Chain A
Amino acid sequence: MVISNFARALKKRLFLKNEMAQTKKIKRGYDLKLVGKAASSIESVQNPKTFALSPTDFANLTPKVVVKEGAEIKAGDAVFVDKDRPEIRFCSPVSGAVAEIRRGEKRKILDVIILADKETRFIDFGRSNPASLQREVVIDKMLEGGVWPLMVERPFGVVPNPKHQPKNIFVTGINSAPLAADVNLTVAGEEANLQTGLDALAKLTDGKVYLSLDGDNKPAAALTGAKNVEVVYFSGPHPKGNVGVQMHELAPLNKGEQAFTATLSDVIIIGRFFNTGKLDMTRVVAAAGSEMSSPKHYKIVAGANLEGVIAEQVKSAKARVISGNVLTGKRIEKNGYLGFFSTEITALPEGDQPEFLGWILPGLEKFSLSRTFFSWLAPNRQYKLDTAMHGEERAFVMTGVLERVFPFDIYPVELIKSILIQDIEKMEQLGIYEVIEEDFALCEVIDPSKMPLQEIVREGLDFLRQEVG
């Protein structure tokens, strides 16, 4: 009797989260196991000399630079604004002097480089508790303080329109991408900021704020006990952490509706902004990958120059350094900058060596989701992957392949084809409003035809936004 009572109590304790919140299972996906996972220690980085704020970190944005080269700015001063919606400000994460406005082809603005002061001087936007503010006041504050662009609007995956009333807001508390930063480390010490951030988001919608947590791990108490949100657990492989997958499971987006999304790291910055009145863009970033000499976490301000970290960590001259993860990240130089949204720096070996008869060898060391290489014998192997394409681009031939890692009730190949022929009606019918490019990242990895799927989806979304959005 005593034992059975104890067992029941234990069971209740263990499965408490499942009884209270719903758990969704993601079946189709894949966890890419790579060498070089970041250790769970955090190191602070001495602020580097330069910072960059890049319009290219925001999809389909036309920037208008509002500072001149040489101007003195504080952390929280606007560097550029959205040309079409000038109330959306993109603010400097540090104080200092505008060193350079770098442009690319057709004078497209690549980034604005800021020479940082030794000690950051912040603009004081004033502390406030978003829970006790009006919706409009919260929006105005977020716009003014430059934390508005931390959210992303679906469809299209762009900076949200302040005039839009999001149906729901989705916060993903799962970093399921390969070698991603540890969620619990991200939250540690930021519990109050996280809750304030969630409170702010709750003001923006009449619907729900969903906070999705990893059902296969043990999330920190600050996450499982978060208030003012609906906690949902997701278990299964990547892309369970992709907010698009979570939306698809919880409240799929229809034509004409909008939803806002954010990651934990973004919500913490929003909360910090309300709690301190300052734009402090410090994030917990995982430095990971097989080319990092000691993979670990860092506290780095978004936009920081990474030369110091890379010089310390990446020994090989021929390594690919990525701001972001291996699926969706952006390639950067050895003296590149941390992207606006990045919570990961990855270093991999470059794979640019031709391989003799590579298409016929048994391939014991090769990573493949298909069983055409003998490496399926070791399913739990951690791979030291390089950046080789392993083949040339071809038309779609194989079928039923992409679906294996695409957990949407959407036909991926049909959708891609409708984008390629720019058939707007078909794109809408086939569900383009529910996805952004990151949702096709795993498909792109395993596609035997080596199609640039993420690029195709992004071009399709930009085209659609221009035509109907």
Chain B
Amino acid sequence: MKFVQNIFEKLHPLVEKDGKRNVFYPLYDSIHTLMFVPGHSTHNGAHVRDAIDMKRTMMMVIFALVPAMLFGMWNAGYWHYYALGEASTLMDNFLFGLIKILPMIVVTYVAGLGVEIVFAWLRNHPVNEGFLVSGLLIPLIMPIDIPLWMVAVSTIFAVIIGKEVFGGTGMNILNPALTARAFAFFAYPQWMSGDKIWINTAGDAGQTVVDGYSGATALGHLATTVGKGIGAPETQNVVSMFTADGAYSMYNSFMGFIPGSIGETSSLAILLGAAFLIYTGVGSWRIMLSMILGGLFMGYIFNAFAVNEFMRINPVHHLFLGGFMFGAIFMATDPVSASQTQTGKWIYGFLAGVFGIMIRVFNPAYPEGIMLAILFMNVLAPLIDHYVVESNIKRRLKRVKA
């Protein structure tokens, strides 16, 4: 690898501070440090250091996302061919998804890192690694049919408004990936909800959907039962979808054989990622567990006071629908926007779970309540931390009096 290092060394004078092309320094620096962990040695303080750094930490999250991403690719193809009534093999399904999703990933990274590099150059700091994760999260929480330019606009909005205005990675209040989704959701609602967008049926002429096919998500179906009372005859076809042999059975929704945002459908794939995150210590198990407990808690409360079929859904089943699992494992655990104290993490996660299920069930206009719940808890997280830290301060003051 010496020759690659030589290329970088040759380029260095060109891009350094007084060089002719110093505009490109952040780009050069980010690629260089990505290729080679810099040969800095410790100069003050502790003389030896843990081998972990931000890049490695972020890569762990990307590894954890791989199962959900691969499954999402397969699932996109599966539903595409299913809707068209065509037979397809596992490879067909996967390749279809790959061709649709890879451009989204590329567009997200180019748009997001572009903004990051511009800000790095303006503010004279190195490009931060945070976007490596956001750049993969954003496509995974988008519907398959969203136009690429919307992905790009949402990403740029999220990086600028969600992150850079606060001072960049580590300073943001909101989860950047969810900010992107929230922006798309409110700016282009027709592309982010409804029953046309979750399965790719648009595009090539001559594609026709098989008769009687509906592309709504599980939550979309459930939302139609709100306000109709328990046992109302017009809700029974929806209820039957959630029984053991229905389309959205517990098994299907756990495995992910349902339509939805690209990466969010398979709880199994997400839990594989969760196991990896918890094992490496990169993701907070406190937040994951407490959010699941919060969701279950709210689900059981709804069960107890059910007035419609949506409220009667099994709380465990709730967890496997929509973006709950993806939110609990990959979104709520973003260390910067989550609660930062260990006690705070329990409260933060639990409330995110409670609000997620609450918004989902009480407000059918926003069936995907998890996104809003986590964003809301992102805003509340500093307050939670404030009170947790305050109790530590009080404890210390009490000691003086004693």
What residues of chain A lie closer than 8 Å to B33, measured between beta carbons? 392
Residues of B within 8 A of A304 (CB): none
A181 close to chain B: CB less than 8 A: no
Q: Which single member of A255, A403, A409 contacts B395 (CB below 8 Å)?
A: A409
Please measure, in the bound complex, the distance between the C-alpha atom of A387 and the C-alpha atom of B36, giving whole angstroms: 17
Cβ distance B172 to chain A, nearest Cβ, rounded Å? 10
Contact pattern, B 286-322, Cβ under 8 Å of A = 1, otherwise 0? 0000000000000000000000000000000000000
Q: How far, in Å, is B388 (CB) from chain A's closest CB?
A: 8
Q: A368-391 interface mask toward B, CB cutoff 8 Å, 1 = contact, 0 = none? A: 111111000000000001111111
Q: Which of B25-72 contact A (CB under 8 A)?
A: 33-57, 59-60
- In the complex, the answer to whether A372 meets B396 with C-beta atoms within 8 Å is no
Q: Report which of B38, B393, B400 forms a contact with A389, defined as CB distance below 8 A.
A: B38
Q: Once the chains bind, are B47 and A450 in contact (CB under 8 Å)?
A: no
- Quick one: given A348-B48, A397-B170, are A392 and B342 in contact (CB under 8 Å)? no
Task: Report chain A residues within 8 Å CB of B42.
Answer: 387-389
Provide the bound-state CA to CA distance between A358 and B284, in Å: 24
- B interface residue count range (under 10 / 10 to 19 / 20 to 34 / 35 or more): 35 or more
Find A370's partner among B35, B50, B54, B130 (CB 8 Å cutoff).
B50
The contact size tier of chain A is 35 or more
A354 contacts partner chain B, Cβ-Cβ < 8 Å:
yes
Q: Are B48 and A395 in contact (CB under 8 A)?
A: no
Q: A354-B39, A391-B37, A391-B53 are in contact. Are A370 and B280 (CB under 8 A)?
A: yes
A360 part of interface (Cβ distance < 8 Å): yes
Point out the residues of chain A lying under 8 angstroms from B392, CB to CB: 409-411, 430-431
Which residue in chain B gives the minimum CB-CB distance to A442?
Answer: B46
Question: Are A448 and B400 neighbours in the complex by a CB distance under 8 Å?
Answer: no
Query: Min CB distance, A314 to chain B, in Å?
Result: 15
B364 at the interface (CB under 8 A from A): no
In the complex, are the beta carbons of A368 and B51 less than 8 A apart? yes
Residues of B within 8 A of A414 (CB): 340, 389
Known: A370-B280, A372-B282, A387-B48. A400 touches B40 (CB 8 A): no
Contact of B46 among A255, A351, A360, A445 (CB under 8 A): A445
Measured between beta carbons, the chain A residues less than 8 angstroms from B35 are 356-357
Q: Which residue of B lies closest to A437 (CB)?
A: B45
Q: Which residues of A are found within 8 Å of B56, using beta-carbon distances? A: 359-360, 372, 391, 448
A367 to B48: give the CA distance in the assembly, Å: 10
Inter-subunit contact A397/B169 (CB<8 Å): yes
Residue B148 interfacial (CB < 8 Å): no
Determine whether the beta carbon of B54 is less than 8 Å from that of A326: no
CB distance from B273 to the nearest CB of A (A): 14
Can you name 30 A-B pairs with beta carbons within 8 Å? Answer: A326-B48, A328-B46, A354-B37, A355-B36, A356-B1, A356-B35, A357-B37, A359-B53, A359-B56, A359-B59, A370-B281, A388-B41, A389-B49, A390-B49, A392-B40, A394-B170, A397-B54, A397-B130, A398-B57, A400-B284, A400-B340, A411-B389, A441-B46, A442-B46, A445-B49, A448-B52, A448-B57, A452-B44, A454-B45, A455-B44
Interfacial residues, chain A to chain B (CB-CB below 8 A): 32, 34, 252, 254-255, 320, 322, 326-329, 331, 346, 348, 350-360, 363, 366-373, 385-392, 394-400, 403, 409-411, 413-414, 429-431, 441-442, 444-450, 452-455
Give the interface of B toward A (CB within 8 A).
1, 4-5, 33-57, 59-60, 126, 128-130, 168-171, 279-282, 284, 335-336, 338, 340-342, 345, 389, 392-393, 395-397, 399-400
- Other than the given A351-B39, A448-B56, 9 more pairs (CB < 8 A) read A360-B56, A391-B38, A400-B340, A400-B342, A409-B395, A431-B396, A445-B49, A446-B52, A452-B44
* Closest A-B pairs by Cβ, 3 of them: A391-B53, A395-B170, A358-B37
